[in-house]
Structure 1
Amino acid sequence: MTLEILTSDALSPMRHGFFTRRGGASSGIFSGLNCGGGSSDQSNVVAINRARVAASLGLDAKRLITVNQVHSADVAVIEGPLSELPRADGLVTKRPGLALAVLTADCQPVLFADREACVVGAAHAGWRGALGGVLEATLDAMETLGANRGNTVAIIGPTISQRAYEVGPEFFETFMDETAENGRFFASGKGDRMMFDLPAYSLARLRKAGIGQAAWTRHCTYSDPERFFSYRRSVHEHEVDYGRLISAIRL
């Protein structure tokens, strides 16, 4: 099956893609394009999937760069293929011929580009990373390479939407401790539960940080099992593991 690649005109002409699960070699609960080396899927099959992604971007697999994601605000500046993966949740580069990629399964994949400065970035932004400042840290790191945040575009790819993101009172209090303004990203749920709007929260932070343009593709990972992997859905369906989606951008 052909890979399904979601793109944004706002990131053009940078080659990029938010890859769905369609078109991969994995089977069973990982059926499709599982690119998560940390999953219990067969490592050789994951390697095949990653090679297909790299090829679609015109690169060898070793030039598809990922990091050891830890829900942090740490950002790695990438100069070339890595022999060891740094612990980080953001990546930036100005080197042609490299693709920066993040893995997600409900968390936000965010791709960045300053087309004038020829600097790109990618971030894995779950609620912890977004609250901790990984989006702003990625912009800061891009600026060290010559980017201007006022010229920078950030696109949030497939992520869990508010209608599927139920949270408890402690989660709500964590965000209210940051600022009472965060109340606007929550809607009432059943009982003491609330529904959190992660992409709206991140868009607000990006705009407050002075980015030139920011948007969400409006794809919900939880609600579309044919196209997307979802950690939360796998828990609700009592599955033993889940696949990881990949999103990438290159110069």
Structure 2
Amino acid sequence: METALFSPSSLFGNTSDNSSDEEPSTPQNFVERTHQFPGMELIVREFSFHQLNANLLWPGTFAFSEWLVQKRSMIEGRHVIELGSGTGALAIFLKKLLQIDVTTSDYDDQEIEDNIAYNCKINKVVPALPHVKHTWGDSFSNANSNWDLIIASDILLYVKQYPNLIKTLSFLLKVYQPKGNMNMLPQNKQDGLPYPAFLMSWRRRIGKDDETLFFKGCEDAGMEVQHLGSRVYCITSKE
């Protein structure tokens, strides 16, 4: 995967470090910040720099968390996997707020997994959230986990990776096998989010042509794209 040509930290102003009294001092290649989420504060340890942009919380994380709180009835009781979890902050927020079954995932990088586990611990999410190392486009090792909701925020930065991301989305949407009585699940958009569905918030600005490239790629792969407002999109399989 190609790396960013800029430092994501340049997008944020200087903030004071926040260290937990119960934890050892944070290594110099990390910084801890307190972030305000709807109804709670989270202490998030972030990489000072990470070549795959797993270091900082992007704007979509906060906008998406606010949207999800407003639409919480859509996601309560769902089995969720987050793509491109980065620090794990959004998944940790959802676990603490709704106690839903949520799995984090990101590129196959042990530092990312370890940092998500650390952030779970300092925010009292114990045991740590289950985590899957997954490179977009590769085979999925946890294919039988029956995630009925896939979420992500601000993951469209790497345009060259769109075909691989679309391949992963298509697989997760098609492999889902519902458990129990299908009649008990909402099956249309009037009743809530379909089963399964991919819910994505996108706040980072890229060229309109690049953004369109992703959505058209999804449609060409047999998926339906719906804009739910506030730059939140729902993508489902047409099959």
TM (normalized to structure 2)? 0.27
The one of the two structures with greater contact order (alpha-carbon pairs below 8 A, sep at least 6) is: 1
State the TM-score, normalized to the length of structure 1: 0.26
